[in-house]
Amino acid sequence: MRLHRCAEVGCRELIKLGFDYCDEHYSKRVAVYHQRRDETRALNSRTLKGQHAKAEYFKQYNEVVRPELGHEFYQSKQWERISRYVKQRDMYTDAVDGKVYDQGDLIADHIIPRRLLKSKAEQLDVDNLWLLSRSHHSHKTAIENKMTDEQLKHISREWWKKVLKN
């Protein structure tokens, strides 16, 4: 097997061809990248241009990616009250990882998707609602899109927690 030295100045670690950095330096570079990306996002969100870009992104997301978010159900006073109640009930804590988030970073999500619920009372049932961070909500939605409606009707909260933790 052919080896070469890590590209980090002063590192003498031998690594396989096709890789530039040893595990230690690769991890450090990735951490620096993520830190800079987060700082840039935070800075951009404070500028008018950044706020406009964020608003445009969510507008596109609501219209194209998640069209039901644009429906009047999620804009109704009832839903806003119930969503606020669930956030207070769960103390702004993500149901999967137990982290506490700001109000805008959490989504009141239907465990059994709303489209499978017949009546409005079922859709507004707080026992079928839980709080998810945006990343967990996106992950859950991606999994839901791969499953049949019959499977989704019988999935429990505990199953979702186990799947979303991975």
Per-residue pLDDT at 100 exceeds 80: yes
Which residues are registered as beta bridge partners of 5?
A: 14
Q: Which comes out higher in pLDDT, residue 119 or 75?
A: 119
Band (pLDDT 50/70/90 cuts) for residue 41 is confident
- pTM of whole model > 0.75? no
Torsion over CA: 72, 78, 80, 82 (sign): negative
Per-residue pLDDT at 114 exceeds 60: yes
Amino acid at 73: F
Average pLDDT of 144-155? 91
